[in-house]
A and B are shown apart, each in its own frame.
Chain A
């Protein structure tokens, strides 16, 4: 994963955060995605300005997890968001 990548939320994505859980709706998909706490923290930081490295640093600062674990989770999560068309 290239950590210098900057992601942007899809303009089609409708979303709100409830009790720390980001809830994302895409008109093109029948399903609604509810992210877990770490996923929600990543989603909130995707703003078209921050790099994945900066997002990773933010996650490590906020949650008590190892760098390897956070990196693995971030890679899987970003791939999932891309596959669902939620980010580009």
Chain B
């Protein structure tokens, strides 16, 4: 039986009541990752007063979970002023960083001022030569790991996030071991996304078939993949494929509002709006993506081979193929290996996903 939180989350999801927002405070970054999706346009980023005004609008809009990200959010000189105001406004904060600037004093300041629910930190390898090659910053892994240690010493939860590429794929288990030793969680994403401007170069970094086979089927990767068995989706009729424009929204450093961090269709600009409520209800962009999210679940995935094993992202589809409902090659490849592993498990055990009660977790849920 669903608990009170599950019931509330489902009700808000169904009614498109957003509980979360992601705020890209800056596109400035002290790393130069080869597959970064950010595409600065050279416009003027929001100043402190504008960011704080935006936070007030998000609070008035009843957003509970707020992720402060970038670029690298900690490079903003006013970061702690922003974080303090966010806490004062009652947000549950997450901070998404590359961890490079976190020393002991910074970790204490983060605890004291931001007191985040969680820090999310990108990691790109278990060895300096792998991580540092991808970030293009020598010494970046060493500083990241030290930063995680300082945060953990302050009792702050840390969730490491790793986009798996052909360069770091065979270090996944070592990264998991490092995370365990530091008392951090780690999440691996096996589907690489294009840049926000549609540049597909990063996609060529996607991991190899032999790695995907192992990742989804080998017991050695069971805890790394977070799913003992890759479970299929089980979308109810009329249910959206993900939470884009529904469970949350994203704001870029210029104040532009998007349905989510990946689907970069502008729905408005927070600097120009007195309140987010009308825009959320009447924006043609948001109305359209909500409809399309249902169509993807009901049509695209139902008509696609292994569609029930796709952790589909409309943003990636839109960027890569110009159609948010189209199946992109990376997701099809990933789904194929998930489906194979699921079939093998069913054959071996005589079980099915229905019996386990589990389903593929939706983005934004």
Q: Are B4 and A25 in contact (CB under 8 A)?
A: no
- The docked-state distance in angstroms from the alpha carbon of A32 to that of B157 is 15
Q: Smallest distance from the beta carbon of A23 to chain B beta carbons, Å?
A: 6
- Residues of chain A within 8 A of B7, CB atoms compared: 34
CA distance in complex: A75, B116 (Å): 30
Checking B11, B90, B115, B116 against A16 with a beta-carbon cut-off of 8 angstroms, the contacting residue is B90
Decide if A25 touches B12 in the complex (CB within 8 Å): no
Chain B proximity of A88: nearest CB distance (Å) = 16
A 41-73 to B, binary, CB cutoff 8 A, 1 in contact else 0: 000000000000000000000000000000000
Contact B4 A21 (CB under 8 A): yes
**Per-residue contact bits, chain A 1-38, to B (CB 8 Å; 1 contact, 0 not):** 00000000001111111110101010110001010100
Whether B117 sits at the interface, judged by CB under 8 Å, is yes
A18–B62 touching, CB < 8 Å? yes
Question: CA–CA, A19 to B17, complex, Å?
Answer: 10
Whole-angstrom distance between the Cβ of B83 and the nearest chain A Cβ: 13
Contact yes or no, A16 B155, CB < 8 A = no
Picked from A17, A27, A32, A36, the residue with its CB within 8 Å of the CB of B115 is: A27
Shortest CB-to-CB span from A28 to chain B, Å, is: 7
| Among candidates A11, A17, A25, residue contacting B117 with C-beta atoms closer than 8 Å | A25
Q: Is the Cβ of B62 less than 8 Å from the Cβ of A27?
A: no
Residue in chain A with minimal CB distance to B91? A14
- Quick one: which of A15, A28, A34 contacts B4, CB cutoff 8 A? A34
Q: Which of B5, B62, B116, B155 touches A32 (beta carbons < 8 Å)?
A: B5
Docked complex Cα distance between A26 and B8 (Å): 18
Choose one: B4, B5, B12, B117; the contact of A27 (CB below 8 Å).
Answer: B117
Q: Annotate B1-27 by CB proximity to A: 1 below 8 A, 0 otherwise.
A: 001110110011000010100000000
Q: Which residues of B contact A28 (CB under 8 A)?
A: 155
A21 CB to nearest chain B CB (Å): 6
- Name the residue of chain A whose CB is nearest to the CB of B66: A14
From A14, A17, A18, A36, contact of B92 by CB (8 A): A14
Nearest chain A CB to B20's CB is how many angstroms away? 11
Q: Assuming A14-B117, A34-B4, A34-B5, is B90 touching A19 (CB within 8 A)?
A: no
Q: Are B90 and A23 in contact (CB under 8 A)?
A: no
Knowing A27-B92, A27-B117, A34-B4 are in contact, say whether A19-B11 is a contact too (CB < 8 A).
Answer: yes
A15 — which chain B residues lie within 8 A by C-beta? Answer: 64, 90
Smallest Cβ-Cβ distance to B86: which chain A residue: A14
- Report which of B5, B11, B90, B156 forms a contact with A14, defined as CB distance below 8 A: B90
Pair B11/A23 contact, Cβ less than 8 Å: no
The answer to whether residues A18 and B12 also contact, given A23-B64, A34-B4, A34-B5 and a CB cut-off of 8 A, is yes
- 18 extra interface residue pairs, beta carbon distance < 8 Å, beyond A16-B90, A19-B8, A27-B156: A12-B115, A14-B64, A15-B64, A16-B62, A16-B63, A16-B64, A18-B11, A18-B12, A18-B62, A21-B8, A25-B65, A25-B92, A27-B116, A28-B155, A34-B3, A34-B4, A34-B5, A36-B4
* A residues in contact (CB < 8 Å) with B: 11-19, 21, 23, 25, 27-28, 32, 34, 36
Binding site for A on B (CB under 8 A): 3-5, 7-8, 11-12, 17, 19, 62-65, 87, 90-93, 115-117, 155-157
Subset of 28 A-B contacts with CB under 8 Å: A12-B115, A14-B64, A14-B91, A14-B93, A14-B117, A15-B64, A15-B90, A16-B19, A16-B62, A16-B64, A18-B11, A18-B12, A18-B19, A18-B62, A19-B8, A19-B11, A23-B19, A23-B64, A25-B64, A27-B93, A27-B115, A27-B116, A27-B117, A27-B157, A28-B155, A34-B5, A34-B8, A36-B4
